Structure 1
Amino acid sequence: MSDSPERISLAGRLRNNFLTGLIICAPLAITIWLTFTFIDWADSWVTPYIPRRYDPQYYFNITIPGTGLLIAVVLITIIGFLGKNLIGRSIVKFGESILHRMPLIRSIYKSIKQIFETVLKEQSTSFKKCGLIEFPSPGMWALVFISGDAQGEIAAKLNADGEEMVGVFLPPTPVPTAGFLMFVPKSKIVMLDMTPEEGAKLLISGGLIAPDYKPIPGLPTAVLPAP
């Protein structure tokens, strides 16, 4: 019975070493798996349409992962380059004019294009800041991503009393890909210094991985608004 504490200590060390190794290996393995899965998916879509004389696999007689993805990236880049000149813009406008005449397709195309333009626009301020709002009841605070000021009809109707409204995205834990879009008064939002990436880590980990925070000397800390 005298060596029981040593056995427990050894088991504890083995468990800690295993958990440490799991933390190191699991994200790496998942990242590699997702990367190769995406490459295989892109290859399965593009490779069948590549003429044999332009396919490197035809000459080397081996499967080269990423060939289809590389060709797709090159073609998309060329299309983007051509789409910036006068002739390219004319072709794009002509193609869009055809799509806009199709009742169902035009709605799908317009929605998807708007989403991509919003996400990929370099000057976009979407999801570049994090904040706190009182949710679901006063005294309880939830982390949100700032999507931008209210616009259009929403701004016209909500800003009628002079209070500026801001759109925020409230994601759940631990999967922040779904959530609620809400419009709240700007004065009710407590802005945070953490980046959206750090906020996502905080959500996914359930609050276990909090970003480091060092207050700047001389600057007052944020004061939460009174409920």
Structure 2
Amino acid sequence: MGASLRKYLVAGLLAWLPLAITIWVLGQILDVVNGVFGSLLAALALLVPESMRQGVLDLRHVPGLGVVILAAGLLLSGVFVANIFGQWLLRQWDRLLSNIPIVKSIYSSVKQVSDTLFSSSGNAFREAVLVQYPHAGSWTIAFVTGSPSGEVACHLPEEHVSVYVPTTPNPTSGFFLIMPRAQIKPLQMSVDEALKYVISMGTVAPMAHADSPCAPAGESPRN
């Protein structure tokens, strides 16, 4: 009786846990968006006539309005900076922030990282590989972030690659390593599949691609 009860409790937990975590993550994101939206409305309320001030502040209580305005703002910003004048204005803004002490260090670093990660022409986080970490004979999944350059590359005698080794189950923290290319093993799985494998601590293993040497004989190509 006790074993059956425990089995049913675990089955129920496995059924509801993914949904509960998804709702919690979305709730955290909405809280951040609503907080930013509320701060903007509070600043806007100071600029409008007093008779309209309460009406502006009441917009904070409209469900989902902050998300809609944020999405619209991102879309309009993307359209604006995609043209010549918007790109020129963005360069002037970057130049201004790059000349402010303390701010320039934070802004420049974040901008370089975001440009590298989200650029359509970049290679960061577009390849999953196997590396020996934290010691020889122990393997883990990593993501290629680029190649060493500048002074670092001058001290390396052979071709190296920069990789990011995520931690489990939280892949947002991890370790940055520079390793010889000959010591890494490329994987044919996608970055999404590799992330699922890392987050699940190896319990959600992606299927081998049809052209992979690990694929069973006669397996049809994956879609």
Q: What TM bracket, shorter-length normalisation?
A: 0.7 to 0.9
State the 1:165 CA deviation. Answer: 0.6
Distance 2:168 2:31 in 1: 30
Q: Which digits, 9 at most, give the CA deviation of each residue in 1:25-48, with x for residues without a partner?
A: 111112112213322321222145
State the 1:215 CA deviation. Answer: 4.9
The letter for the 2-side match of 1:72 is: L
> Could you tell me which residue of structure 1 aligns to residue 204 of structure 2?
209
Distance 1:83 1:136 in 2: 43
Q: Which digits, 9 at most, give the CA deviation of each residue in 1:138-184, with x for residues without a partner?
A: 322222222222233322331xx3x2111111223332222221111
Matched positions, count: 205
**Structure 1 pair 76/135, CA: closer, same or farther in 2 (3 Å)?**
closer
Give the 5 Å matches for 1:32-71.
32-50=23-41, 63-71=61-69
**Structure 1 pair 13/214, CA: closer, same or farther in 2 (3 Å)?**
farther
Output the TM-score relative to the length of structure 2: 0.78
Give the 5 Å matches for 1:101-116.
101-116=99-114
> Could you tell me which residue of structure 1 aligns to residue 84 of structure 2?
86
5+ residue gaps, structure 2, are 45-51, 216-223
Q: Which digits, 9 at most, give the CA deviation of each residue in 1:71-124, with x for residues without a partner?
A: 122122212212222322232222222222212111111111111111211222
Distance 1:47 1:137 in 2: 49
SS of the residue aligned with 1:133? strand
Give the 5 Å matches for 1:21-170.
21-50=12-41, 63-158=61-156, 161=157, 163-170=158-165
Distance 2:36 2:134 in 1: 45
Q: How high is the sequence identity, in percent, across the aligned residues? A: 31
Output the TM-score relative to the length of structure 1: 0.77
Distance 1:36 1:63 in 2: 16
Distance 1:47 1:178 in 2: 30
State the 1:197 CA deviation. Answer: 2.4
